[in-house]
Structure 1
């Protein structure tokens, strides 16, 4: 599709595209030499002055070059950006890595890791588990006289397996008793969190080795429940490598926010009210920490609500990355629907 733009819009478009490409201020001479314009340098300079007065571009220092403001980039994205088709390599990677046979947790992990590997930016995925997680099976398997393997399977097919190291040898009667207590607390399709509470009550009434074993199991179950309800964040180290990060200390606040992303997830939750990709550009987020970054986010499931996001510096290749986030969300949605439809 060919865009019909006024001269100021075309000049803004060229400035934004060049800035997103190399991050350098764009001079009037560079623009005047562009064959799309066919106007004099004086005309370009006058138009750039008007764009600056409108708050769409600014001068980062005393040079003649200009860079776009957040408002300028927003206008470019809303009116002038032409999204590019997904590359065959990226599409093949999505098809190969995100398959419906994977348990939900592993599917979410694969999506986040793949997104950051393909882009070099930070990927954020909703917590794999929603409230009301159901335990389908729990078992203790002897590995040695003083070591046991704890195995717990939930309703999504995700498996928790942890080796429990004991201070003394465990006889068969103790192992059988502990396993019976675990099934009483967590078996029969009960909710994970409720089972943890029941197990805590049972543990307090036991003594000696049984109590020690139950305490170890309780610790592993509680830790897994906490981890499964935390957002997944991948590629924080990639942010450290960007030139923008090294030149702007404010971006270091983003790292602190990613360590405790609850506020960010609440923000993303409010903007993902449909199945279209959304873009938060700098200060639009309302968070000071995000004033120098952009976030592309897309909901991929409604019940429970799950989303996937890509966070990076404002100088992103939006034409390629918005379709990638959209395609990743679509693939996740397709796989989750297939899982639910399977017997």
Structure 2
């Protein structure tokens, strides 16, 4: 019984501190949350929670504030995500559905996430190391030159002009195009060498040099573009919170400039919603922040990248988690439909 009540007291302290930014006292907990016990009982519960390291008293005679461990306990008890309003869902769907290409949908997603959470938003580009080739188009420019257009299952489009050793007719270009697509479609970068070997084996001798030329261009393009990168929006949202600029915000801004740091921050072995709180985060720069992130998927329902937000530990976790999940879901739906 006492254990259940202490969980309610901890939840009350987290919720009130998130709303007000002020330490929460026992009388406030009793009055606002109607726990059916006296302030003295709540003070005893607070003492027990403090001994467990879940709350702390910043000043003598002051109320309590959650610690990182307290926030972790609170987050781990969230059984269901807070649903977005109909208006929020419609706004997300409308903004993302109007995107014209992958760059546009990523840019819209990061701005949208920053806007609806009032936090710093981070979206990782779909990695060509994890995405597969959906289609290859060969556009003849002359008998010996062609434009190679590579389309991935995550919607990325890459182009390269190649020059063949000998001239090819339109019919030969068509044969090469068809064979490439039959063998290479749905294969990732690491699988391309074997697929290209099968392409050569199927083609007549006169087309094999051209197939090797296109194959090298394909591998080089994907390898060069496979570098992981992220986009960021909403850094100005850091000024909304009572955070020390010199000690906290400046290190965060420096860390946000480092792509490697952001990629490490988003990297998780398992898919799904993840919340990193304070010292749990990979960089000391984020030791006073929380990072809420999740994965999004491509056409084959396989994870292609992650997105998330960086904000103060004093955040509305249920609402933030719901927003991150919702944007990832709509982004996945758009990429899957392409």
Give the TM-score normalised by structure 1.
0.69
Query: For 1:4-153, what aligned pairs fall within 5 Å after superposition?
Result: 6-34=4-32, 36-80=34-78, 83-99=81-97, 102-131=100-129
Corresponding position of 2:328 = 329
Aligned residues: 277
Does the 8 A contact of 1:136 with 1:188 survive in 2? no
| 1:85 shift after superposition | 1.0
Q: 1:287 to 1:45 in 2, by over 3 A?
A: same
Identify which range, 38-47 or 62-71, moves more after superposition.
Answer: 38-47
Does the 8 A contact of 1:124 with 1:231 survive in 2? yes
Q: In 2, Cα distance between the equivalents of 1:308 and 1:53?
A: 36
| 1:7 shift after superposition | 1.7
Q: In 1, Cα distance between the equivalents of 2:65 and 2:81?
A: 22
Q: In 2, Cα distance between the equivalents of 1:93 and 1:260?
A: 31
| 1:192 shift after superposition | 6.7
Q: Does 1:194 align with 2:220?
A: yes
Corresponding position of 1:235 = 234
In the alignment, structure 1 segments of 5+ residues that lack a partner are 141-150, 162-180, 198-221
Q: Does 1:280 align with 2:279?
A: no
| 1:268 shift after superposition | 2.1
Does the 8 A contact of 2:123 with 2:307 survive in 1? yes
Q: In 2, Cα distance between the equivalents of 1:188 and 1:80?
A: 52
* CA RMSD in angstroms, aligned pairs only: 3.5
| 1:237 shift after superposition | 2.1
Q: Does 1:268 align with 2:294?
A: no
In the alignment, structure 2 segments of 5+ residues that lack a partner are 142-146, 165-212
Identify which range, 26-35 or 284-293, moves more after superposition.
Answer: 26-35
Give the TM-score normalised by structure 2.
0.70
Q: In 1, Cα distance between the equivalents of 2:315 and 2:116?
A: 13
| 1:334 shift after superposition | 1.3
Q: In 1, Cα distance between the equivalents of 2:63 and 2:328?
A: 38
| 1:286 shift after superposition | 3.9
| 1:115 shift after superposition | 0.6
Does the 8 A contact of 2:126 with 2:304 survive in 1? no
Query: For 1:152-163, what aligned pairs fall within 5 Å after superposition?
Result: 155=151
